[in-house]
Amino acid sequence: MAVRSELLLLCSVMIAVVLVEGAEGGRRPRAGLAGQLLRSHNAARAAVGLPPLAWDARLARYAESYAGRRRRDCALAHSGGPYGENIFWGSGVRWRPAQAAAAWVGERRWYHHRSNSCSASECGHYTQIVWRSTRRLGCAMEVHKGGDSLGSIWLWSDEAE
């Protein structure tokens, strides 16, 4: 039996919510987290013929604020805010942002385009990444105060520039 601290725990939840306020756009993503996530999302979108997402500083600030509040308890709880939202939590390994995105893109195998439905397992995280009307991405990542787990909050906006 493997040691619990070495087990990969992947809990992710998706909720789609319509944006109710304007997004601040046009800014380039910060190096590191933002660039990795934007590249991985845009690669998944390009694979199905969709336009790339733009980085949104307002979404990133919102995600940062909420991830900071979750740092103490690492709760997989949605913010209740006005954006589409995926939450990732993993432990036991040193997670990179692109790995979290790859886990969600891997749900593609359960998605059926013709019926816009999933089989065998969930695919809501994948559909959030490739949702046709999604235009913007902002996200933040926090390491749990115990140091052995990673939580990240990813937000999407359907509002165009």
- Predicted local confidence at residue 11, as pLDDT: 25
What's the average pLDDT block by block, 10 residues per block, for the chain (161 residues)? 26 23 37 80 94 92 83 76 82 75 90 87 88 89 66 64 44
Contact 131, 156 (CB under 8 A): yes
Domains of the chain: 4-19+31-157 (3.40.33.10)
Which tokens go with 68? 């900071």
Q: What is the pLDDT of residue 34?
A: 78
Q: Is 20 helix (H, G, I), strand (E, B) or coil?
A: coil
Phi-psi region of 91 (alpha: psi -120 to 50; beta: other; left: phi over 0): beta
Residue 109 pLDDT: 93
- Rounded CA-CA distance 123/39 in Å is 20
